Chain A
């Protein structure tokens, strides 16, 4: 996501028109940097925690959402996004463990218990996954 670190862009005027709490699924805002426009779905990963350089790719978030949906048998009309908290989706400790194991299988990573305990949202899981995949790749 190197393009987002161009410091001359100010997200602030854009963010005020976005409903960051609800996710940006229906947003048709597009970001324009130096005349080049970027698709809006790239903004999905910019949530309350504005750590752009560490934010996981949308594809990773989507994959996590899919795994979570399956494990928790979530109704189709219930939205699951990066902001979604596992507890609010009805996950108990057994579910969380199964979700972590599912993510390990999907991404070919190994999650330590201490890290697993820090995962509270879908975004947390996606960020952790990309961290581990990156470490694995550079090992």
Chain B
């Protein structure tokens, strides 16, 4: 039920799980939930029913109601979204997940009868105020989201010197305005997180210092949100500082301002990266938001 309405909001309401079409090789899908929009206890309990015992326990092990709700929404979003992509009827509860050799979560397809997966890949990220799930086929995906207003308690330059590559440190230290420097730091952090999550090795498996992410058509100030088309035509690329055989040229990035409140970085090998974004409340509604104010390209997108 993908709809391409650029001018108007498009809602689909359903009380069950409406099927959705898989992204093609060149597409990336991004689904997000805003926890504040999910208030019904009844709905949250329905989501809980989708989780196996181990996931329920993990949700309840989170310390605090808001954290528990966020964890629940993350699992519900992943399970319902993946279930909807199946051509046959698969219940969200029946999906099994496992970790790959590096610890990255993936769907365990063997547990589902009659399913021939088109190599569906997914990755989740969430903050207190937004839960997101990216989906691709054929190639792995990594996403990371961060609140735009997130304050860093330590000095950006000490952070950067410790964790970022030399080029990235230089770029950040050339920014004189502390607020812009903070923003650029957050954007860079999400891009680097998205990359290591796409690789599937996690923060410890791919130390941030071992690669540089930069915008190819960037000005000295970094990746700016700008009205001019030049920033939208810029490519965001990654270079490995360790191993030149890392084929880093295959990876592509997109950086968005999402829902007015977050930076979202998406990394995959799909190129060109055509993004489709939905705001959703599982079991209730989808809203296709690409082309609206909820999705503003900051760089790397077609």
Contact = CB atoms under 8 A, between A and B. Distances in A.
Nearest to A97: B163
A90 B128 contact: yes
Nearest to A117: B204
Given A93-B193, A97-B159, A97-B163, A102 B63 contact: no
Interface stretch (A12-20, A52-60, A71-79): A71-79
Contacts, number: 44
A94 interface: yes
Given A93-B193, A97-B163, A113-B207, A88 B61 contact: yes
Given A88-B61, A88-B62, A102-B153, A93 B203 contact: yes
Contacts of B64: 74-75, 78, 90
Contacts of A94: 146, 150, 152, 189
A94 B156 CA distance: 12
B86 to A, nearest CB: 30
Interface string B108-152: 000000000000000000011000000000000000001000101
B175 interface: no
A89 B63 contact: yes
A84 B193 contact: no
* Chain B, interface residues (CB within 8 Å), range: 20 to 34
A65 B32 CA distance: 32
B193 A71 contact: no
A98 interface: yes
Contacts of A89: 63, 67
What secondary structure prevails in chain A residues at the interface with B?
helix
Contacts of A71: 153
B102 interface: no
A101 interface: yes
B207 A101 contact: no
Contacts of B146: 94
B297 to A, nearest CB: 23
B163 to A, nearest CB: 7
Interface string B188-213: 01000100000000011001000000
Q: Which of B150, B204, B207 has the most CB of A within 10 A?
A: B204
A28 B128 CA distance: 37
B71 to A, nearest CB: 9
A85 B62 CA distance: 9
25 contacts: A71-B153, A74-B63, A74-B64, A78-B63, A84-B63, A88-B61, A88-B62, A88-B63, A88-B67, A89-B63, A90-B64, A90-B70, A90-B128, A93-B193, A93-B203, A94-B150, A94-B152, A98-B152, A98-B154, A101-B154, A101-B158, A101-B159, A102-B154, A113-B204, A113-B207
Interface of A: 71, 74-75, 78-80, 84-85, 88-90, 92-94, 97-98, 101-102, 113, 117
Interface of B: 61-64, 67, 70, 127-128, 146, 150, 152-154, 158-159, 162-163, 189, 193, 203-204, 207
Counting from the closest, the 4 A-B pairs by CB-CB distance are A117-B204, A93-B203, A90-B67, A78-B63
